[in-house]
Chain A
Amino acid sequence: MTASPGAGWRRADGPAAHDREKRRRRRGNGHGSGGGVGFRAAAADGAPVVQDVEFSSYYGRPVIKAPVWKTPDVPLYLFLGGAAGTSAILGAFSELTGRPVLARVSRLVSGGGSVLSVGWLIHDLGRPERFLNMLRVLKPTSPLSVGSWILAPFSAATGATAAVELLGWFPRLKQFGGAVAALFGAPMATYTAVLFANTAVPSWKEPGKQLPFVFAGSALAAGGGLTMVFAPVEEAAPSRAMAVAGAAVELAVMQKVEHDHGIVSEPYREDKAGKYLKAARTCTAAGAGLTLLAGRRRLGAVASGALLAAGSLLTRFGVYEAGMASAKDPKYTVVPQRERLVEQDGHARSVVR
């Protein structure tokens, strides 16, 4: 049978349909959301827009549930975890190459960052007193379970190392702790991208293979930036190098995330997420440029390091908000899935067996 999908039935116009229209107009751009049946998104302003976005939904209500994670808890956790991860590695390498002050600064940044990040993560739980249940099992299918088993040794090692660094006790323990921290540093900085991508949230799932590189770049920029702020400029050459490299990766891959994924790239350019990411781009680019120009002067190092860290933080907020926006609009769930079905079968089959 080749009956057209829906067989000519259209949603009877009710008040809900008018509300949707009003909401659209208020947003006032050509590529806003469309709810309901038979709506065509018009590209009046010539903005990049997926043509003929026509889809059905249940009164414009979301299909999937948006994450119940809190902000700023989770974006801050991502930022602090990333900065702590890269600076832990920097600390270990600096120790080996005879940069004692940089090593000390890196350890303190990484210890502080990881302890704070654990704090935010626990604060985000619905039952914080049960946070140890995270270590009840190790489940390879759960990025959060794997992540907990990365975070636990990492934060213990970096926290202990930073404490020992401050108190000046047991200098050998410091090296051991630093080595353990460095081992878990890189996974710590990137696992969070898998955590986001392994969801049904369209704007996280689709660019899932690029997000780890965004987070890695962002973590390098943040770690490099923060250590630049506190370390003397003579020793901070590695910080500057890693910060600039990280900023370049962050900017380049983020560009792809924002443009390569058709309709699910939209939330990265709109509303709150769009604003965060625009600010992030500005901060990161300015920070990287200033590092190259004035990074060898104390004031320049402080200013550029702060800009890079701010850029990294804003990127995390932007990615988080883009995912939330994509989960709340049924368009981003339904349209890509419809397209997938058309691609598979050559026609708009639904899940008919």
Chain B
Amino acid sequence: MTSVSSASPVFSGRDRQNRLFGPLPDVSGEAGYEADHPQRIGFFTDTSVCIGCKACEVACKEWNMLPMDDADGVRDAMGLSGMSYDNTGMLGANSWRHVAFVEQSRPVDLPMPQVGPPGAGRFGESQAPGHADGDLPADGTTPAYTGVLNAEALTEFDPQTGRSADREVRWLMSSDVCKHCTHAGCLDVCPTGALFRTEFGTVVVQGDICNGCGYCVPACPYGVIDKREGDGRVFKCTLCYDRTLDGLMPACATACPTQSIQFGNLDELQARADARLATLREQGVESARLYGRDENDGVGGAGAFFLLLDEPEVYGLPPDPVVPTRDLPSLWKSAGAAAAMIVGVIGTAVLGSRGRK
């Protein structure tokens, strides 16, 4: 394999465009790898089939030998978060997979008419909104969900939805992970070169280089990487660099019993995700959307992307993440102007008060 350049691509002079943000067809090539590098790999996490078993969390902890902590990153403490079945709390130095649990409810109209065979006129037919009973609620709920049949349809194929009295309840479960961004904030700002881009296009910390400056922590727009208490260095998901080098699947994807976590070459995963989204849309799940799939987003698309059933922020994800370094040139310009102002002010102060002493 070729040697890894820890210097920034700014020096290389190649590909003048999109080095700080925007789509980048070949991230590893951009980082200095020869053209024969392996294809970019990633995760597609399909949260619509996640059952919240946390096997991914356990497999990750075991394989990577991550220490125990509570929901706030306090080492060697076992604590219940008190908010849900989620006692991991967040991604951090000691949790590289984090299963989010969201419990939601919404009202359904009663009584529930059961007309005709189940599933008749279900998906998007003209029957669905104008139901035979004509018993539409007058509270102005959105048209897509006023019909009981539509809600029923959702219930039928969505194992995460249940009903109790006049409330419909659903559980959203999502296994979050480092996004391995095309333009990674953590990698951009690392001053030591401890963070580097692998030949697979992933982003990995070299523990023997990291000096714990902590700059990558606030530079991540997703709040993934964190400093480990009692160690001083930062840690995050490596996309199982050690396993992938040997042709193995990452631990979490291997352990996932529902194929919610899918691992593979990024372009294949993207095609698979597009097909899955189309299927769900067809079935009437209008809230399904892909997150991190768009190469024109603020991080140039993510190596680990998601199919979500609600807004990203419901899962604790930022709705429009942007790599901080996108604005770096303008920041330096401003700092340069401020530096010039300093020299100007002091020069004027010294020369201007020459006569007076």
Contacts and interface: CB of A to CB of B under 8 A. Distances in A.
A63 B142 CA distance: 29
B190 A7 contact: no
Contacts of A323: 218
Nearest to B10: A140
A334 B142 contact: no
A350 B346 CA distance: 49
Interface in A197-249: 197-201, 205, 208-210, 212-213, 215-216, 219-220, 224, 234-235, 237-242, 245-246, 249
Contact of B144 (A7, A11, A147): A7
Given A8-B142, A126-B233, A216-B338, A58 B314 contact: yes
A127 B350 contact: no
Nearest to B71: A61
Nearest to A197: B331
A186 B342 contact: yes
B42 to A, nearest CB: 15
B106 interface: yes
Interface in A4-29: 4-12, 14-16
A124 B214 CA distance: 9
Interface stretch (B33-41, B62-70, B222-230): B222-230
Contact of B218 (A147, A193, A199, A241): A199
B335 A191 contact: yes
A134 B219 contact: no
Give the dominant DSSP class at A's interface: helix
A53 interface: no
Interface in B49-88: 81-84
Contact of A58 (B213, B232, B291, B313): B313
Contacts of A195: 215
B351 interface: yes
A334 B84 contact: no
Contacts of B281: 1
A139 B193 contact: yes
B286 interface: yes
A125 B211 contact: yes
How many B residues touch the partner, as a band? 35 or more
Nearest to B323: A200
A8 B105 CA distance: 9
B293 A59 contact: no
B242 interface: no
B188 A69 contact: no
B324 to A, nearest CB: 5
Contact of A137 (B192, B217, B226): B192
B318 A59 contact: no
Contacts of B221: 64, 200
Given A66-B218, A86-B342, A12 B6 contact: no
A93 B350 contact: yes
Interface string B317-350: 1111110110110111011111111110111111
A127 B313 contact: no
Nearest to B142: A4
B328 A198 contact: yes
A186 B343 contact: yes
A63 B317 contact: yes
A144 B220 contact: no
A129 B8 CA distance: 25
How many A residues touch the partner, as a band? 35 or more
B346 A242 contact: yes
A175 interface: no
Given A198-B189, A245-B345, A353 B286 contact: no
B103 A6 contact: no
B84 A133 contact: no
A241 B351 CA distance: 11
A144 B20 contact: no
B313 A351 contact: no
Contacts of B8: 139-142
B48 to A, nearest CB: 14
Contacts of A238: 346, 349-350, 352-353
A144 B318 CA distance: 25
A190 B339 contact: yes
Contacts of A200: 185, 218-221, 223, 321-322, 324
Contacts of B324: 197-200, 205
Interface stretch (A268-276, A282-290, A301-309, A335-343): A335-343
A89 B104 CA distance: 61
A3 B322 CA distance: 26
B313 A208 contact: no
Interface in B240-297: 281, 286-287, 289-294, 297
B311 interface: yes
A134 B191 contact: yes
Nearest to B188: A141
21 contacts: A12-B104, A58-B314, A69-B214, A90-B346, A94-B350, A126-B211, A126-B213, A127-B210, A130-B211, A131-B211, A139-B188, A139-B190, A139-B191, A141-B8, A200-B223, A212-B331, A213-B338, A237-B356, A341-B319, A350-B311, A351-B297
Interface of B: 6-8, 10-11, 20, 81-84, 89-90, 92, 100, 102-106, 141-142, 144-145, 169-170, 185, 188-194, 209-215, 217-227, 231-234, 281, 286-287, 289-294, 297, 310-322, 324-325, 327-328, 330-332, 334-343, 345-354, 356-357
* Shortest beta-carbon contacts, A-B, top 9: A126-B212, A126-B232, A58-B316, A186-B339, A237-B353, A241-B349, A130-B211, A212-B338, A145-B191
